[in-house]
Structure 1
């Protein structure tokens, strides 16, 4: 985890939280994810014209990841319908890093050393603190929590698939381009079949903000995929989920959700965890 890799992943965290906030802001979740997914596919198609074609051995990972990404989009839409942004987003993102650490150890044979393991553990503790703070003051919405946890499992799955795939691809830009195309067309195809002649009317009011979300989504994941070619999967996954802190701040500023002292302490744990992961690098 060099300073350059760390900076790239932290920038990815900010852009990721931003596009998720845009998706949450659009009232009709199918409209939001149609624009973000479709816009991402268009951006990917343009990038594919200038990038090296991914190596053959990367395609099984890429196609499997595209399928899991579609499942992730469906689960994320459901999470945002059922729960508040300040609850659904932290639980979905915060539950993923530990699963990634376990999967990476078994699948990629990446077992973190003492410093990295301590950093991952502290970061996950901070992320969990932010997530639990989202439940404060109201009875648990188990349907929303279940959807968010399932979303986290899908995140962990595609993270490991893409980590292995991008390393085998020979071109991180080519991999992200074709991944965006493969994963981005499913939701728009479903939406067009559902809306038919009303499609343009449904999308037009949110086209600008939705396409901005698409650009942020592609940028966020492109940075993460590049980082996965430079460092181990588990520390990157933990560091990327610092987007939870950004998401909590966005929730406080734009959605009028409380941030509070417990989230500040959780953010402090996350910062210490990042420092330990840097020390390990």
Structure 2
């Protein structure tokens, strides 16, 4: 993996942790998801106007990924409503790394050097330590939702990793994916909303942080999709999970969650994993 790809994915990880924090700041989970989707619709639509069409072979992946990512956004905000941010975020991302690594190596035939496998394991262990630390508001429902979200993340990461390689243009694939989600996410939230008047009022009240979160999410995932077209899926997936470092400090600064020695040590372990991923070749 080149230095340029490494820095780009680390930047995407920072943006990912930031937009997830913005999503938790909005108290209504459907409003939060819908606003992110509307940002996707606007920016994804504009990008589709200037980018070439993806190859026809990518269409099944686009459609499946749009369904998975719609479910992801709604489940994600539900998990944050039932959990501490610093607990839910590491758990769902750790499950995603484990799932992507296992499937990409065992099913897709990608090979990793022993040092790279060790690096991925270090990242997963660090995220597990962060996720299993004591929490004031963690519930069984929140824990289950976080695990389900992690499984969905692994699923759409694999679908996109395959789809982007058949699209012919990574940014075109990302643009059409966001456009599709920009339609499916707000519509799904509207259907699920029990109080449509309150839902519309929430869209107006929280438009600024919600749309900003959507923009940051779009940029972060576009970078990841581009990186997946050039580097092994397991390595890209592991690197993007360094956004957990943002989650640890965001949980403390924004949500007044405890910042423990264990949390800081686990964040350092993530950094060690990054170094191994960068310096070990397959």
TM-score (norm. length: structure 1): 0.94
Aligned match of 2:255: 255
Mind listing any 5+ residue stretches in structure 1 that lack a counterpart?
A: none
Q: After TM superposition, give the deviation of residue 137 of structure 1 in Å.
A: 5.3
Aligned match of 2:41: 41
Deviates more, 1:12-21 or 1:261-270: 261-270
Count residues in correspondence.
279
Looking at structure 1, the residues matched to 246 and 267 of structure 2 have their Cα atoms a distance apart, in angstroms, of: 10
Determine which of 180, 183, 186 is the counterpart of 2:184.
186
User: After superposition, where does 1:130-169 map in structure 2 within 5 Å?
Assistant: 130-133=130-133, 136=134, 138=136, 141-169=139-167
Say whether residues 1:236 and 2:236 are aligned partners.
yes
Cα distance per residue 1:153-190 (max 9 Å; x no partner): 00000001101111111111111110001123223113
CA shift in 2, pair 1:270/1:50, >3 Å: same
Q: After TM superposition, give the deviation of residue 140 of structure 1 in Å.
A: 5.8
Deviates more, 1:47-56 or 1:252-261: 252-261
Aligned match of 2:169: 171
Q: After TM superposition, give the deviation of residue 255 of structure 1 in Å.
A: 1.0
Say whether residues 1:13 and 2:18 are aligned partners.
no
Alpha-carbon RMSD = 1.6
Q: After TM superposition, give the deviation of residue 217 of structure 1 in Å.
A: 0.6
CA shift in 2, pair 1:138/1:199, >3 Å: closer
Aligned match of 2:126: 126
Q: After TM superposition, give the deviation of residue 199 of structure 1 in Å.
A: 5.2
Q: After TM superposition, give the deviation of residue 138 of structure 1 in Å.
A: 4.9
Q: After TM superposition, give the deviation of residue 125 of structure 1 in Å.
A: 1.2
Does the aligned pair in 2 maintain the 1:130–1:245 contact within 8 Å? Answer: no
Deviates more, 1:197-206 or 1:86-95: 197-206
Q: After TM superposition, give the deviation of residue 111 of structure 1 in Å.
A: 2.5
Looking at structure 2, the residues matched to 67 and 21 of structure 1 have their Cα atoms a distance apart, in angstroms, of: 23
Does the aligned pair in 2 maintain the 1:85–1:251 contact within 8 Å? Answer: yes
Looking at structure 2, the residues matched to 220 and 117 of structure 1 have their Cα atoms a distance apart, in angstroms, of: 24
Q: After TM superposition, give the deviation of residue 139 of structure 1 in Å.
A: 8.6
Say whether residues 1:104 and 2:104 are aligned partners.
yes
Mind listing any 5+ residue stretches in structure 2 that lack a counterpart?
A: none
Aligned match of 1:95: 95
Does the aligned pair in 2 maintain the 1:45–1:181 contact within 8 Å? Answer: yes
Looking at structure 1, the residues matched to 245 and 4 of structure 2 have their Cα atoms a distance apart, in angstroms, of: 21
CA shift in 2, pair 1:66/1:107, >3 Å: farther
Looking at structure 1, the residues matched to 254 and 77 of structure 2 have their Cα atoms a distance apart, in angstroms, of: 19
CA shift in 2, pair 1:205/1:125, >3 Å: same
Looking at structure 1, the residues matched to 27 and 45 of structure 2 have their Cα atoms a distance apart, in angstroms, of: 28
Cα distance per residue 1:249-273 (max 9 Å; x no partner): 1111111112221112111211111
Deviates more, 1:185-194 or 1:248-257: 185-194
Looking at structure 1, the residues matched to 212 and 163 of structure 2 have their Cα atoms a distance apart, in angstroms, of: 27
Cα distance per residue 1:47-105 (max 9 Å; x no partner): 00111111011111111111111121222122112112111111111211011011112
